[in-house]
């Protein structure tokens, strides 16, 4: 029986195989990117290194070596989706490392931003909001709010500390208050500040159910300790004494004591919200308790009116 080594020799020496090999080798070594790499590393590369590294060089040129900007890494045709190959010399060989392409970097940044924003019962369009999508023309209030938010972020950049006060945004239905909160959360995420944004009516309903499964304390604790808390649509519904005093009161008292910034949106201004909070679901009027809650809101926010047409129509 013929040794396998001899059989392989005979196969390798077949002219057609040798011709194909030489053609492939020539194609690899004449590739523009390979030529550039060998020129840049001429002192470190010798003929033996090239022969030992042909498979790696072929792997390199068989992929896109620049980001093709396909719009999503899911459509990337490289061996590792979202990564482009780079040549380097290591241990006497030419090898390949893989680096994130531009599209992958963008997608990773988006995921990182999304991970910095926790939400409860907020619609998708709010969580994806961006300031560049807010119409400013002819609307001085939105411009002022945008400048306030940027000043808030700039203070954090300069000092490493969050300002103690957020914003209390009030205005008519559909003028974009919730959208501004979402855009603010996403801007904060860009500077690695975590936010929790909560749709208040649904959150309070959820807490009622949480009493039964013993998760009430953990949910309230998660919200009240947020680096930046955003309460959306406060005052949208009549609330119980328990929700006002034990939940909202406890959350806002903690944040006032710890000097944690809070952003709030409401259809009511300060005075209107105080009147609303004074009236419980049972028809009782408790002005003192409502005033106490409002003191905490005023201590953690700055009042700003959002003007404009109803964008939901």
Q: What is the pLDDT of residues 246-266, one digit of tens each?
A: 999 999 999 999 999 999 999
CB 208 within 8 A of CB 159: no
Weakest-pLDDT range from 113-122, 163-172, 224-233: 113-122
Under the phi-then-psi rule, with left for phi > 0, alpha for psi from -120 to 50, and beta for the rest, what region is 193?
Answer: beta
- The pLDDT of residue 10 is 60
pLDDT category at 3 given cuts 50, 70, 90 is low
Residue % of the chain over a pLDDT of 70: 92
Distance, CA of 134 to CA of 278 (rounded, Å)? 34
pLDDT tens digits along 124-158: 888 888 888 876 656 788 889 999 999 999 999 99
pLDDT category at 34 given cuts 50, 70, 90 is very high
Q: Highest-confidence range of 126-135, 193-202, 276-285, by mean pLDDT?
A: 193-202
Given a cut of 60, whether residue 12 has pLDDT beyond it is no
What is the phi/psi pair of residue 218, to 5°?
-65, -35
Which residue is listed with tokens 């009493």?
211
- The pLDDT of residue 112 is 78
Angle 4-12/15-29 helices, nearest 10 degrees? 70
- The pLDDT of residue 313 is 60
All domains of the chain in start order, with CATH = 12-104 (no CATH), 116-305 (3.40.50.300)
Closest CA to 168 of 56, 294, 303, 310: 303
Given a cut of 70, whether residue 216 has pLDDT beyond it is yes
Write down the mean pLDDT value for the chain. 88
Distance, CA of 254 to CA of 185 (rounded, Å)? 21
Average pLDDT estimate for 106-125: 79
Distance, CA of 210 to CA of 208 (rounded, Å)? 5
Helix H or strand E segment including 305 = strand 301-305
Residue % of the chain over a pLDDT of 90: 57
Burial 27-58 (b: 16+ CB within 10 A, else e): ebeebeebeebbeeeeeebeeeebeebeeebe
Average pLDDT estimate for 196-214: 88
Cβ neighbours of residue 245 closer than 8 Å, sequence gap 6 or more: 289, 293
Weakest-pLDDT range from 32-36, 64-68, 186-190: 64-68
Q: What is the dihedral of CA 62, 68, 74, 78, to 10 degrees?
A: 10
pTM over cut 0.75: no
Distance, CA of 103 to CA of 127 (rounded, Å)? 21
pLDDT category at 2 given cuts 50, 70, 90 is low
Average pLDDT estimate for 107-113: 78
């Amino acid at each position: 029986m013929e040794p396998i080594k001899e059989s392989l020799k005979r196969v390798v020496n077949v002219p057609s195989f040798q011709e194909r090999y030489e053609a492939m080798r020539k194609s690899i070594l004449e590739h523009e990117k390979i030529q550039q790499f060998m020129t840049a590393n001429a002192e470190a590369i010798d003929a033996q290194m090239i022969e030992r590294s042909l498979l790696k060089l072929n792997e390199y040129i068989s992929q896109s070596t620049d980001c093709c900007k396909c719009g999503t890494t899911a459509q990337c045709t490289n061996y590792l989706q979202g990564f482009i190959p780079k040549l380097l010399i290591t241990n006497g060989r030419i090898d390949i490392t893989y680096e994130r392409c531009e599209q992958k970097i963008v997608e990773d940044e988006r995921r990182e931003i999304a991970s910095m924003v926790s939400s409860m019962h907020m619609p998708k369009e709010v969580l994806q909001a961006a300031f560049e999508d807010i119409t400013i023309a002819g609307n001085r209030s939105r411009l002022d709010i945008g400048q306030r938010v940027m000043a808030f972020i700039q203070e954090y950049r300069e000092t490493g500390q969050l300002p103690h006060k957020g914003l209390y945004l009030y205005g008519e239905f559909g003028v974009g208050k919730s959208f501004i909160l979402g855009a603010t959360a996403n801007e904060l995420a860009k500077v690695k500040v975590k936010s929790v944004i909560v749709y208040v009516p649904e959150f309070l309903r959820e807490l009622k159910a949480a009493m039964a499964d013993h998760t009430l304390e953990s949910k309230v604790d998660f919200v009240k300790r947020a680096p930046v808390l955003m309460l959306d649509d406060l005052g949208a519904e009549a609330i119980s004494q328990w929700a006002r005093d034990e939940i909202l009161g406890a959350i806002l008292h903690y944040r006032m004591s710890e000097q944690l910034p809070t952003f709030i949106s409401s259809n009511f201004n300060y005075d209107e919200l105080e009147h609303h909070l004074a009236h419980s679901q049972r028809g009782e009027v408790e002005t003192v308790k409502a005033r106490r809650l409002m003191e905490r809101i005023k201590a953690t926010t700055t009042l700003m009116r959002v003007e404009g047409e109803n964008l939901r129509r």
